Amino acid sequence: MSPNRRIFLNIVATYGRSLYTLVVGLFCGRWTLMALGEVDYGLMGVVGGLIAFVQYFDSILASAIGRFFAIAVGEGKADRKSGIESGRKWFTTAVVIQTALPTFLLITFYPVGEWAVRHFLTIPPDRVQACVWVWRFVCLSGYLGMLTMPFRSMYMAHQYIAELTFYSFMTTTFNACFLYYMVTHPGVWLAKFAFWQCLLSMLPELIIAIRAYFLFPECRVVRRHIRCWCNIRAMAGFSLWTAIGTLGVILRGQGISILVNKIYGSRVNAGVAVGYSLSNHCNSLTDSMFNVFSPAIYNAWGEKNYDKARSMAYQICRVGTLFLLVFALPLSLEVDEVLRLWLKNPPQYAAGIFLFVMASTVIDKMAAGHMICVSASGKVAGYQSFLGTTLILTLPLAWLLVKLGMGVYSVGWALVATMAVCSSGRIWFARRLVGMSGRYWIRSVVVPLSGVVVLSLCVGSLPRFFLSASLARVCFTVGVVEFFMIPFSWFFVLSGSERAFVVSRVNAVVSKMRRTC
């Protein structure tokens, strides 16, 4: 399969998966809130989120391992034997690290998390023991996920992403069935639900690991490479700088939840959790593009085709953000009514938090391609230091705004402000390190996408003047926004080559269907 066809297949598969997850997730979020109750729902979010401090290290290494795997795959396109040998070296290094580090983290962070649940977080006394079990199940699933991460990373490096979407599709379906059972059988579900989530995350990871071993020749632990200190140092060096940026992301996300919990209590946490959950469903659409293009950019860098890598980086900024806006804009216009239809009695502040998080996400994705290109180059020290420092400032900035009397939405203003600074920094670093033009980014990404936002918000606001809040108005708003947004995006956002590629792939699919019939 050609690289372009594989990218197209991966985009279709992951976008379809994301749409399915978005639709099902709306029902699942409502069912989860109904089955757990507002207090337990908030506790599930804040206690389950504690694993972020453990997964912090995993995400650092996942980024590094994925980068080195994909570079090796790109090198293998020029010399297959050399590429496989290089891939096995990096795979062996990854397995060694991903066995030792999770064990150390589990031993170190598990007691800290249990202490936080019992003595630090604001938890009703009768729910403490259930929250302890939530923490245990979260740790177990996180531990196994870290052990099997090298196998998943090899899938991504080879761009076998469409197969991964199948496992995600099945997981989403099984989870929806279980949540429906929870709703129809009232009870105390907090610990049981955590156990189900643990089981549901572990089984696909085991299947992926077994499949990867038989599918990819690089997935072999070679004894002579176990103590390859040069590889360990290279991966550790890349990971060390990435750790600074990732630490900012973790503190920005989970730190906000803890700040809200300590100041406003678990009921307000429910509103924050719902707002984040709804925004994450929309964000999954652009993450699909991000996951498809990241290994492709790394592969191109491994082939030393730098112009191709930069071109795809601009493309993901433009198209990835556009995929997000297709759903985020009409949802933002009708978020209050959507939450009412979804949850009946949505938690307070959920709608406002969603709008702030979504604005921050759009700013982030508009410069996401620059981040991938800088990572592909390996020159991440200055960039990650800047990124981490800026994101870490989100928490003290939010605390300061709260103390100044700006209320719960202080966290939203802090999220948007720091992300705007981060994206501006990405543009500067990408221009300096990998030769990506800031002016071209403004002309090809910022200007057309700003036009999409302004047009959509203007035409999408019209139904408010003659329709009252209802499902009909939500549907009408979505229809109006998409009616104007899609053709505008086709002619003014997509480039000529992108339009030609989409047309060629659609014609190929139609021709194949005609031959089949």
165 pLDDT higher than 70: yes
d(CA 321, CA 318): 6
Task: Look up residue 76 and give its two tokens.
Answer: 């293998």
Q: 1 pLDDT band (50/70/90 cuts)?
A: low
Share of the chain above pLDDT 70, in %: 90
What is the pLDDT, as a whole number, of residue 305?
84
Per the listing, tokens 């082939």 go with 303
Residue found by looking up tokens 């599709």 in the block? 169
Of 111, 127, 129, 107, which Cα lies nearest the Cα of 50? Answer: 111
Q: What is the pLDDT of residues 25-76, one digit of tens each?
A: 767 777 887 888 877 877 887 787 777 666 666 777 777 888 888 888 887 7
Query: Which token pair is 225?
Result: 């490479």
Phi and psi of 22, rounded to 5°?
A: -65, -50
> Which of residues 62 and 192 earns the better pLDDT score?
192
Question: pTM of the entire structure?
Answer: 0.73
pLDDT band of 427, cuts 50, 70, 90: very high
Residue 207, amino acid: I
Angle at 369 between CA 287 and CA 85, to 5 degrees: 85
Q: Decide if pLDDT at 464 tops 80.
A: yes
Q: How far apart are the two ends of the chain, measured CA to CA in Å?
A: 24
**What pLDDT is stored for residue 288 in this prediction?**
67
Three-class secondary structure of residue 348 per DSSP: coil
Q: How many angstroms separate the CA atoms of 227 and 220, rounded?
A: 15
pLDDT band with cut points at 50, 70 and 90 for residue 285:
low
Q: What is the mean predicted confidence (pLDDT) over 149-160?
A: 86
Spatial CA neighbour of 303 closest among 82, 33, 50, 17: 82
pLDDT at 225 > cutoff 60: yes
- Residue 446: the pLDDT is 92
Instruction: Give the model's confidence band at 449: pLDDT under 50 very low, under 70 low, under 90 confident, else very high.
Output: very high
55 is written with which tokens?
A: 């997964």
What whole-number distance in Å separates Cα of residue 288 and Cα of residue 280?
Answer: 12
Whether the predicted pLDDT of 324 surpasses 80: yes
Mean pLDDT of 300-320: 86
Task: Tell me: pLDDT of 241 over 60.
Answer: yes
What distance lies between CA 412 and its chain's CA centroid?
19
**454 vs 20, which has greater pLDDT?**
454
Residue 338 binned pLDDT confidence (cut-offs 50, 70, 90)? confident
- Cβ partners under 8 Å of residue 439, min gap 6: none
299 vs 436: CA distance, rounded Å: 18
pLDDT band at 505 (very low <50, low <70, confident <90, very high): low
Whole-number pLDDT of residue 8: 67
Mean pLDDT of the chain: 82
pLDDT at residue 512, rounded to an integer: 66
pLDDT of residue 420: 92
3-state secondary structure 418-439: HHHHHHHHHHHHHHHHHCCCHH
Average confidence (pLDDT) over 205-230? 85
Residue 6 in this model has a pLDDT that exceeds 80? no
Q: Map tokens 């802090």 to a residue.
A: 414
> Would you say residue 310 has pLDDT above 80?
yes
Predicted confidence at residue 510, as pLDDT, reads 67
For residue 116, the Cα-to-chain-centroid distance in whole angstroms is 26
In the chain, the percentage of residues whose pLDDT exceeds 90 is 7
Per-residue confidence (pLDDT) for residue 514, from 0 to 100: 67
What does each C-alpha distance from 240 to 57, 243, 429 come to in angstroms?
10, 5, 18
What is the arithmetic mean of pLDDT over 188-214? 89
441, pLDDT greater than 90: yes
**Per residue in 84-142, pLDDT tens?**
888 888 898 888 888 888 888 888 888 888 888 888 887 888 888 888 898 889 888 88
